[in-house]
Amino acid sequence: MPRRMVVKSLRTVGRCLPSGIRRRVRSVARRAGVPLPADYWWLMHETGRVGRLASGGPKRCNICGWSGETFLGVAHVESAICPVCSSSGRDRFLLWCAGRDDAVTLRSTRVLETSPRLGADYRAMMRHHFKYRASDYDQSAHRGDIRIDLQRIELPDASIDLLLTPHVLEHVPDTATALAEIHRVLAPNGRMYLQVPMVRGKTSAPTEPEFHADNTPVFWNFGWDLTGMLRTAGFETQVLVTAGFARLLTGETEPPPPDPHDFDVADLIKHVPIGDYTIAADDGEADAMGWLPPYQFATWECIRR
């Protein structure tokens, strides 16, 4: 039976079992190397405060398993903070997107994450599930397992199965060299899940010096045309969005009024390439996970062929 079908059957059976038994079955299945539904990976981490399942309300965190009435902060890609693990909306969307690939449920998956925003608890959880390493270029906030310059990655060819790279590429001067290096270190059929802040439709360099919170300079403000750069580098790629974002892009819903200090939604709609995006979360999922407003959430899924 194909692995995708095994995962689907497990998910169906798993939902019918009481949670205590479900946890035990998962633990045995994991040791036996059976691929498990990615949505539940955090349930397998039962030590410490990260990974405990609570059923406290309609909002939920796919990183630590918290659920409750409301996230902290405002509805924004950098906010909607989980009160337990401090994940932001984009942290949760990145792992949700990566969870589309059944391979990430395997303990043997070699995962590299560049500059994860979350600290020790998150990294320990990832290490518990995968062969996980975090890299930090600027080590003032966190000390990563390795230090990596994406333009010259000191790792062997084909040594990574899954690369998570949230909000890093915009800080790298030479995009083409960085993408070539990523392509080199990914194993055949390996994947990268890539997020950049996309506030306008087309890529441009900042007109005046721009820095993000950790004082790292921004070299590029990427738009939809990043997809073409990824394809030139040899990736099969599409942009994963929420159903709400897709409705804005197709004109089914009206864009919000322009805000000069925030996302230029009209420009995002104007430049969207037809057929280059895929819906990865429906309205119920986006509401539960805090992925609002919808136009702020996009992740490039890149497969190395």
Residues that bind Zn ion (CB under 5 A): 61, 63-64, 66, 82, 84-85, 87
Least Å from the CB of residue 118 to Zn ion: 9
**Residue 60 beta carbon to Zn ion: minimum distance, rounded to whole angstroms:** 8
C-beta closer to Zn ion: residue 62 or 221: 62
Nearest distance, CB of residue 65 and Zn ion, angstroms: 7
* Complex with Zn ion: residue 61 or 199, whichever CB lies closer: 61
Between 22 and 52, CB nearer to Zn ion = 52
- The pairing of strands 298-304 and 186-195 is antiparallel
Q: Is the peptide bond before 293 cis (omega within 30 degrees of 0)?
A: yes
Picking from 140, 173, 133, the residue whose alpha carbon sits closest to that of residue 154 is: 133
Nearer to Zn ion, 82 or 150 (CB): 82
**H helix intervals, the chain:** 3-16, 19-31, 89-98, 120-129, 175-185, 226-232, 243-250, 265-270, 283-289
The nearest distance, CB 61 to Zn ion, in angstroms, is 3
> What is the per-residue DSSP string for 67-94?
EES--BS-SSTT--B-TTT---HHHHHH
Nearer to Zn ion, 66 or 224 (CB): 66
CB of 5 to Zn ion, least distance (A): 30
Place of tokens 């009435």: 69
